[in-house]
Amino acid sequence: MAKATRQAFAESLVKLAGNHQEIVVLDADLAKSTKTELFAKKHPDRFFEMGIAEANMIGTAAGLALSGKLPFLCSFGCFLTGRYDTIRMSVAYSQANVRLVGTHAGLGIGDDGHSQMGLEDIALMRALPTMGVFQPMDARETELVMEYLVNDWKGPAYLRLTRQNVPDLYPEGRVFQPCKLMEIVKVDVGRPGVVCFATGAAVAEAVAAAGALLPSGIAMSVWNVHSLKPFDEEGMLAAIKGARLVISVEDHSVIGGLGSAVA
């Protein structure tokens, strides 16, 4: 069933918090939009409404992390990264174990308008030393990335999520491999003429494109990239062997995002 990754994130957060008392959540007057209102209802004593004061929220989250908590701080991606200097100093520089969650990624937010589209956030977050950058393609992968960020990842991380619903694409029974590329559309005969790397909501668009190309005799494999940083360079180089064309697809500026990682 198609679901926005922001919704899957919130549901997973509530579930994980039951066994992880260190999880706390901070929001900047957007709990309804980021879906953290689900957490607020279930764990009101561990939810902090910080108001329209993102810089203060980031600093508070860093302090909570350095005192042993695992804070998830949430807002629209463009609003969070608009406080870049605070993220740089309070979170990345101090290597605070903070999870920055940016919803409403890219053009896909539609009628919410251009002022609220996160279009440069991946580039900004990738540039920060110690910062991991993750963007799941659907609800199931969001759950798996969340488990990884809670149980295994150490240090700062940025999680990028959709406002719009995205189709279920995660293969049934597939074992999750953190920070590794995953082939979604396979080409069984020979090598594909085109190899496509896609991330987030753009994976579904790439899958549709691969199907549309088949009648023309063009074979395109599609690889999902849930981890923009660290980036699976070894896996990418193996995937493109023999390809005539390599492309990337993302709902983000062509500068500094997945395309730059592939290049």
Query: Which active-site residues does the annotation give?
Result: 54
Contacting residues for 9 by C-beta, under 8 A, at least 6 apart? 35, 101, 103, 142, 146, 159, 161
Query: C-alpha distances in angstroms, 233 versus 25, 195, 230?
Result: 33, 14, 9
Hunting for tokens 């992880």 — which residue is that?
Answer: 20
Conformation bin of residue 143: beta by default, left when phi > 0, alpha when psi is -120 to 50: alpha
Contacts of 249 (CB under 8 A, 6+ apart): 196, 197, 198, 199, 202, 203, 205, 206, 209, 258
- Measured between alpha carbons, how far is 241 from 205 in angstroms, rounded to an integer? 23
Tokens of 256: 């500094």
Cβ neighbours, 10 Å, residue 50: 20
How many CB atoms lie under 10 A from the CB of residue 262? 18
